[in-house]
Amino acid sequence: MKLAIVLVLLVIGSVLFHFLSPWWFTPLASNWDTIDTTIDVTFWITGAVFIAVNLFMAYAVYRYRHNPKRRAHYEPENKKLEWWLTIITTVGVVAMLAPGLVVWADFVKVPEDADQVEVLGEQWQWSYRFPGEDGKLGAVDARWIGPDNPFGMAPDDPAGADDVLVRSNELHLPLDRPVKLLLRSRDVLHDFAVPQFRVKMDLVPGHVSYVWFTPTRTGKFDVLCMELCGIAHYAMRGYVVVDSNEDFQSWLGEQPTWSEIQGIPPGDAVAGQGQYATCAACHGAQGEGNEALNAPALAGLPDWYIARQLAHYRSGIRGAHPEDTYGQQMAPMANMLPDEQSVRNVTAYLDSLPAAAPASTLPGNPKAGASHYTTCGACHGAQAQGNYALQAPRLAGQQDWYLKRQLDNFRQGIRGSDQRDNYGHQMVLMARALQDEQSVNDLLAYLNTL
Amino acid sequence: MQHVAIADQPDELHDPDTFITKYIWSQDHKVIAIQYGLTAIFVGLVALVLSGLMRLQLGFPDTFDFIDPNAYLQFVTMHGMIMVIYLLTALLLGGFGNYLIPLMIGARDMVFPYMNMLSYWTYLLSVIVLLASFFVPGGPTGAGWTLYPPQAILQGTPGYDWGIILMLASLAIFIVAFTMGGLNYVTTVLQARTRGMTLMRMPLTIWGIFTATVLGLLAFPALLVSAIMMMLDKVIGTSFFMPALVSLGENLDYTGGSPVLFQHLFWFFGHPEVYIVALPAFGMVSDVLATHARKNIFGYRMMVWAIVAIGGLSFIVWAHHMYVSGMHPAFGFFFATTTLIIAVPTALKVYNWVLTLWQGNIHLTVPMLFAIGFIFTFTHGGLTGLFLGNVTIDLPLSDTYFVVAHFHMVMGVSPIMVLFAAIYHWYPLMTGRMFNETLGKLHFWFTFLGTYAIYLPMHYLGFLGVPRRYFAMGSTDFIPESAVSLNASITVSALIVGVSQLFFLYNVFWSMRHGKKAEPNPWHATSLEWQTPDVPPHHGNWGPELPTVYRWAYDYSVPGAPEDYIPQNHPVSAEEGTAGEEEAHA
C-alpha cells in the first residue's frame, strides 16, 4: 500500500518538477529549431510511457497485494498481448527515430554556400583562423607548430599568407550566414560547444572534424570545452560574438593576417634600457621588485607575459577594477610607453636581466604546499618555470607577497574578470580552489623552494 | 569417469578440512563467490566515498581546499572505473554468477574449480594494483573512466605517469581474472546441468548471467588490446593512438596514430559492458519478482529471447557513445537505428515484469521492494536512453549532466537495486540466517527515494547544458544561480544515500551471527538452489545424488496444487501434467 502510494507520488512529483522547475534548454540562437522539435517529440512519448508504466505498476502493487485467501493467477504467457505490446513499442520507437534521422541528414549535409572558419583547440585555449581574401585556408601541420607559429602554418603554401589568425578566445561570426567550423586540435581531444547553438563536436588531433550552423540572433555566447582535456578543462572557455555583417567585417579587418604577423620586428634591448628608466624607480634597477612600493619583480618574467600585462593595463583590462589599488597605479604608467614597438623593446631588455631570488616574507609549510601546487604545475611547470604554450608565466623567483595579493585578486574577481582577459579568467577559476589563507601561505612557501 | 560437477557421488567428497583450504585457497564456488562479493563491496565503498568527495565540490564549490582540480578528476575517474568494473562486473558475475550457477542448474561446483580459485586471486591482485595507484607519485589517473588518449598519457592530466600505467595494468589483470571465471561459467552452464535441466527450464538468472558472460568473453579482449596498445604508446613510444602533436608547447615524437581508434575499441567493449552488468540484473530481478509475487514470470520464452537479442544487438550499437567524437557523421544513421531497435526487447522486458505483478499475490518483502524499485528506476533510465541514442538529440545533450544522470539511473542505481534485492533474497541461503526486516526496509526507502532525489534533477542540469567533468561552473551566460542551489541539494541527497548504506552493512554483518535462523526455503521458491539437503549448502551441494528436474522454474500458484509453489525437482503428477508443464512449453 505504502509503496503503491509512493510510486504514484513519484510520478506526480516528476511531472510537477518538470513543469515547475526553471531549468530547461537555453533559448535557441541558431537554425537548429528542428533539434528542439525532435527533443519535444521524444520527451512527450517517453513521458507518456513513464507515466503509464509506473501508474499501472502502482495499481498492480495495490490491487494484488498479498492476501492469504487468494492465489495468483497462473498464466505463463499471452502471445496476443505480447505481440500487441511489441507492435505498439515499435511504432513508438519509429515515431522518435524517424524525425531524428531526418534532422541528422540535414546535420550531415553542409550547405554549399557556408563560410569556412577553422577552430583550433589546445590545452586550454581556443584560437580561430579565417581563410582570408583567397577564400582558401593554407596548409597546416603539427610539425610546423612553434612559439612563432602557433597554428602550424606550412611555410611553403602561398594560400596561407592571407589567412586571418585570431589568437584570442573570442570568435566573431556574421548573422544569418551558414558557417562550417573546421575543428582541429594541437594536442588532445576537445569539444566545441555553444549551448545556444545546440550542436557540438569533438576536436581530434591528427584529424579535421566539422560542425555547421547558422547563427540567427546577435549576441555574445559562451564557448565551452565539453570533452575532458586535462586539469584545466573546466577553464577552457571562449566566446562567439554574433554580429551584423557590417560589424563582423570591421572586426575581421582588425585581425592580423599570417604575413602581417611574420613582419613584426623583434624588440631592441638597448633601446629598451632607456625606456625602462621610469619603471626602475619602483621595480628596481635590476627589475628585482620592491615590497615597500608594492612593485613586483620583473626580472625573470618572460617577455610575452610582460607584454600582455602592459597591453592589458593600457586597454583597461587590468588595473581598472575599483578595488585594484596597485593596479590603478600601474595603469597610467603603462600608458607612458608610446607604441607596441616600445613595449617590445622594454620587454626585450627585461628579458636580459638575471632572475632574482627574493626572500620569503610569509609563514608557510612548504611540504603542505607541495600538494596544492600539483594543479598549478600543470600550466606553470613542475619547477614553476612557466610555459609559453600555455601562456603561463614563470612563478619561481617572484616575490611571495605579490603572488599572494594576485591570488586574492583573482579569487575575488578584482583581476581576471574582464571578459577579454582569457588567461585571467582561467586564474579566477583556479584561484577559487584555494580558499584558506594557510593553504595559500603553504603554497607560496613551496614556491619559494623552487 | 564423469566430471565431478556432473556426476552423482556415492562416496564421500574430499571436503577441505583446514582453515586455509576451506576459506583462503578454496575451490568451492560458494566460498569463492563470497570472496568475490566481499572484495567487490569493499572497493565499492571506496568508490562511494570518492563520489561523496566529488559531490562536496560540486554542491559547495570554493569551500574545500583539499579538493583541487587535480584531485577532483582523480576522484571522478577512480569512482567510475571502480563502480563499473571492480564492483558491478565483479559482484554480479564473480559473486552471484559463482554462487548461483552450480546451485541453480544442479551441479556440484564449477567444472574448473582450480581455475575458479585462480580467477578470484587474480581479481584481488587487480584490485590491489588499482588501489596502489593512490600511493604512487602523481596519484591515480584522472583521465576520466574512458581513459581517452592522447590526454590520458600526456602531461596536463592527473596521474599521467604512474597512475595510468597502474590503471592499464590493473585492467589487463582484471581481464585475465574475468576470462578464467567467464570460461568456467559458460562451460558449467553448457556442460554441467543436471538431469532434466534443459536450457528452456533454466531460471532467468542463469540466462542473464550466461549471456552476460558470453558478452564479456567477446568484449573484454577489445579492452585488453587497447590497454596494451596504450601502454606501449606510453612506455615505449609507439603511436597506435597518438598522432603528431604538441603537448604543452613541446613537439612530441608521436606520428600517425588515431585517438578515435581507441574510442572504437573502448566502446566495442564499453557498450556490451553495460549489458554485462544489466543482463544478470535482469535475470535476477525476474526471479525475485516471480518468487515474491507468487506468480510465474510472464512470457518466459519472450524473456529468454529478449536477453539473447539484447546481448547480440549490444555489439552493434557501440558508436552511439561517439556521435560527437569526430568520426564520420554518416555512421550516426546506422548506430541510431540499431540503438533504438534495442529499445524494443528492453521495453518488452519491462512490460513482462509489470505483467508478472499483475494478478499476482504480492508479498512486499525487502527483496521485493528493491525489485519493484528497480522497475521504476530502470524504466526512467531506459527512457532517457532514447534521448541519447537518437543521434540528433545527442548533439545538445552529449557530455552534459543529462548523460551522467542517464547512465547512473540505468547502470548505477538500477543494477544496484537488483544487487540489494539479490543479496536480501539469497541471504538466508548463503548464511542460514534471516536479515533484520526493519533495517532492510529503512535501507530501501533511503536508497530508493534518495537516489531519485539525486538523479531526477540532474537531468535538468543537462537540459540546461551544464557540462560534466567540470571542477567548477564559474560564470556563464546560460546557467542561472538557481542551478547552484540545485547542485547543493543533489549533494545533500547523495550524502544521505551514502550514509544510509550503513543500514545495509550493519544488517549484513550483524544478522550473520545474530539473525533469526532461516528455514530451508523461506520464500517458498521453486528453483533448485533452495532445494539442497543442507542450508547453507555444504561442499558438493547435493549430498550423494544430484537432483532431477521435472519442470520449469516458475510453477507458482499452479491451479490444483496443494501449495502455491512446486519445486523444479518435484515430479509431475498425473493430474497436473496438462496444466503446468504443457502450457509452459506449448
Domain boundaries, chain A: 2-68+78-108, 115-262, 269-448
- The pLDDT value recorded for residue B17 is 75
Residues of B in contact with A390 (CB under 8 A): 248-249
To the nearest whole angstrom, how far is the Cα of B360 from the nearest Cα of chain A? 4
B478, A374: Cβ pair inside 8 Å? no
What ipTM was assigned to the predicted interfaces of this complex? 0.93
**Vertex B256, ends B255 and B258: CA angle to 5°?**
120
A76, B584: Cβ pair inside 8 Å? yes
The answer, for B326 touching chain A at a CB cutoff of 8 Å, is yes
Q: Quick one: which H or E segment has residue A196? A: none
Domain-embedded: residue B452 = no
**Vertex A43, ends A37 and A49: CA angle to 5°?**
145
Q: Quick one: which H or E segment has residue A24? A: none
Per the structure block, which three cell numbers stand in for B462? 543537462
A-B contacts (CB, under 8 Å): 379
To the nearest whole angstrom, how far is the Cα of B368 from the nearest Cα of chain A? 11
B299, A78: Cβ pair inside 8 Å? yes
* Angle between helix A33-63 and A2-20 (nearest 10): 160
User: Has residue B53 got a pLDDT over 60?
Assistant: yes
Shortest CA distance from A99: residue in chain B: B392
User: Has residue B255 got a pLDDT over 70?
Assistant: yes
Q: What are the CB-based long-range contacts (under 8 Å, 24+) for B218-221?
A: B218/B272, B218/B315, B219/B268, B219/B269, B219/B272, B219/B273, B219/B276, B219/B315, B220/B175, B220/B178, B220/B179, B220/B269, B221/B175, B221/B269
| pLDDT above 90 coverage of chain B, percent | 88
- The pLDDT value recorded for residue B586 is 38
Q: Give the one of A189, A220, A234 whose C-beta lies nearest to B470's C-beta.
A: A234
Domains held by chain B: number: 1
Other CB atoms within 10 Å distance of the CB of residue A75: 17
User: Has residue A156 got a pLDDT over 70?
Assistant: yes
User: Has residue B6 got a pLDDT over 90?
Assistant: no
CA dist B123 and B125 (Å) reads 5
Shortest CA distance from A22: residue in chain B: B482
User: Has residue A66 got a pLDDT over 80?
Assistant: yes
CATH node for A115-262: 2.60.40.420
Residue A177 buriedness (CB in 10 A; 0-12 / 13-18 / 19+): middle
CA dist B369 and A6 (Å) reads 12
* Best A6, A7, A44, A61 residue to mutate vs chain B (most B CBs within 10 Å): A61
Q: Give the one of A56, A64, A191 whose C-beta lies nearest to B399's C-beta.
A: A191
CA dist B301 and B466 (Å) reads 43
B387, A388: Cβ pair inside 8 Å? no
- Fold for A269-448, please state it: Cytochrome Bc1 Complex; Chain D, domain 2 (1.10.760)
Q: Quick one: which H or E segment has residue B237? A: none
Residues of B in contact with A423 (CB under 8 A): none
Encoded amino acid at A210, one letter: Y
Residue range B570-574: average pLDDT? 84
pLDDT 10s digits, B176-217: 999 999 999 999 999 999 999 999 999 999 999 999 999 999
Q: Among A423-432, B77-86, B270-279, B521-530, which stretch is predicted with the lowest mean pLDDT?
A: A423-432
Residues of A in contact with B259 (CB under 8 A): 189, 204-207
Shortest CA distance from A92: residue in chain B: B344
- The pLDDT value recorded for residue B579 is 47
The dihedral formed by the CA atoms of A122, A125, A131 and A133, expressed in degrees to the nearest 10 = -150
User: Has residue B577 got a pLDDT over 70?
Assistant: no
**Vertex B252, ends B247 and B257: CA angle to 5°?**
95
User: Has residue B574 got a pLDDT over 70?
Assistant: no
Could you tell me if B232 and A178 are in contact, meaning their C-beta atoms sit under 8 angstroms apart? no
Nearest partner of B394 among B353, B457, B339, judged by Cα: B339
B296, A97: Cβ pair inside 8 Å? no
Residues of B in contact with A203 (CB under 8 A): 326
| pLDDT above 70 coverage of chain B, percent | 96
Q: Among A135-144, A358-367, B121-130, B290-299, which stretch is predicted with the lowest mean pLDDT?
A: A358-367
- The pLDDT value recorded for residue B582 is 45
Residues of B in contact with A73 (CB under 8 A): 295, 359-360, 557
Find out whether the peptide bond into A124 is cis, omega within 30 degrees of 0: yes
Beta-bridge partners for B362: A65
Q: What are the CB-based long-range contacts (under 8 Å, 24+) for A59-64?
A: A59/A4, A60/B354, A60/B357, A60/B358, A60/B360, A60/B362, A61/A3, A61/A4, A61/A7, A61/B357, A61/B362, A61/B364, A61/B372, A62/A1, A62/A4, A64/B293, A64/B357, A64/B358, A64/B359, A64/B360, A64/B361, A64/B362
Could you tell me if B200 and B568 are in contact, meaning their C-beta atoms sit under 8 angstroms apart? no
User: Has residue B1 got a pLDDT over 80?
Assistant: no
CA dist A441 and A226 (Å) reads 33
Other CB atoms within 10 Å distance of the CB of residue A19: 6
Shortest CA distance from B66: residue in chain A: A372
Q: Give the one of B144, B336, B472 whose C-beta lies nearest to A432's C-beta.
A: B472
Residue A312's SS3 state is helix
The answer, for A84 touching chain B at a CB cutoff of 8 Å, is no
- The pLDDT value recorded for residue A280 is 87
Q: Give the one of A100, A146, A200 whose C-beta lies nearest to B393's C-beta.
A: A100
CA dist B373 and B379 (Å) reads 10
CA dist A18 and A43 (Å) reads 11
CA dist A12 and A7 (Å) reads 9
Nearest partner of B203 among B567, B549, B554, B548, judged by Cα: B554
Output DSSP code: residue B131: H
User: Has residue B7 got a pLDDT over 90?
Assistant: no
Residues of B in contact with A205 (CB under 8 A): 150, 243-245, 259
Domain-embedded: residue B539 = yes
Q: Quick one: which H or E segment has residue A126? A: strand A125-130
* Best A9, A56, A74 residue to mutate vs chain B (most B CBs within 10 Å): A74
- The pLDDT value recorded for residue B580 is 46
pLDDT 10s digits, A17-57: 999 999 999 999 999 999 999 999 999 999 999 999 999 99
User: Has residue B109 got a pLDDT over 90?
Assistant: yes
Encoded amino acid at A68, one letter: P
Q: Give the one of A22, A233, A378 whose C-beta lies nearest to B469's C-beta.
A: A233
Encoded amino acid at B264, one letter: H
**For chain A, what's the residue count?**
450
CA dist A182 and A184 (Å) reads 7
Q: Which sign does the torsion angle of CA A317, A321, A327, A330 carry?
A: positive
- The pLDDT value recorded for residue A82 is 92
Could you tell me if A99 and A41 are in contact, meaning their C-beta atoms sit under 8 angstroms apart? yes
Residue whose C-alpha cell is 607548430 = A145
- The pLDDT value recorded for residue A371 is 87
C-alpha distances (whole Å) from A142 to each of A14, A79, A152, A202 are: 50, 62, 6, 18
- The pLDDT value recorded for residue A267 is 84
CA dist A368 and A446 (Å) reads 8
- The pLDDT value recorded for residue B583 is 45
Average of per-residue pLDDT values in chain B: 93
- The pLDDT value recorded for residue A420 is 86
The answer, for B582 touching chain A at a CB cutoff of 8 Å, is no
Q: CA A204: distance to chain centroid?
A: 16
Round the CA-based radius of gyration of chain B to a whole number and report it: 24
Residue range B44-48: average pLDDT? 97
Could you tell me if A165 and A257 are in contact, meaning their C-beta atoms sit under 8 angstroms apart? yes
Domain-embedded: residue B469 = no
C-alpha distances (whole Å) from A145 to each of A149, A150, A236, B252 are: 5, 5, 20, 11
User: Has residue A127 got a pLDDT over 90?
Assistant: yes
Nearest partner of B417 among B314, B281, B311, judged by Cα: B281
- The pLDDT value recorded for residue A355 is 83
Residue whose C-alpha cell is 567428497 = B13
- The pLDDT value recorded for residue A116 is 96
Residue range B28-48: average pLDDT? 96
Q: CA B550: distance to chain centroid?
A: 31
Average of per-residue pLDDT values in chain A: 92
As a whole number of Å, the end-to-end CA separation of chain A is: 67
Q: Quick one: which H or E segment has residue A65? A: none
A206, B243: Cβ pair inside 8 Å? yes
User: Has residue B585 got a pLDDT over 50?
Assistant: no
- Give the structural domain span for B533: 524-586
Nearest partner of B475 among A417, A335, A439, judged by Cα: A417
Could you tell me if A403 and A444 are in contact, meaning their C-beta atoms sit under 8 angstroms apart? yes
Q: Quick one: which H or E segment has residue B421? A: helix B414-431
The dihedral formed by the CA atoms of B245, B251, B253 and B255, expressed in degrees to the nearest 10 = 30
Residue B13's pLDDT band, with cuts at 50, 70 and 90, is low
Other CB atoms within 10 Å distance of the CB of residue B19: 8
Output DSSP code: residue B533: S
Find out whether the peptide bond into B150 is cis, omega within 30 degrees of 0: yes
Residue range B335-351: average pLDDT? 96
* Best B356, B390, B441 residue to mutate vs chain A (most A CBs within 10 Å): B390
Q: Are strands A115-122 and A179-185 parallel, antiparallel or unpaired?
A: parallel
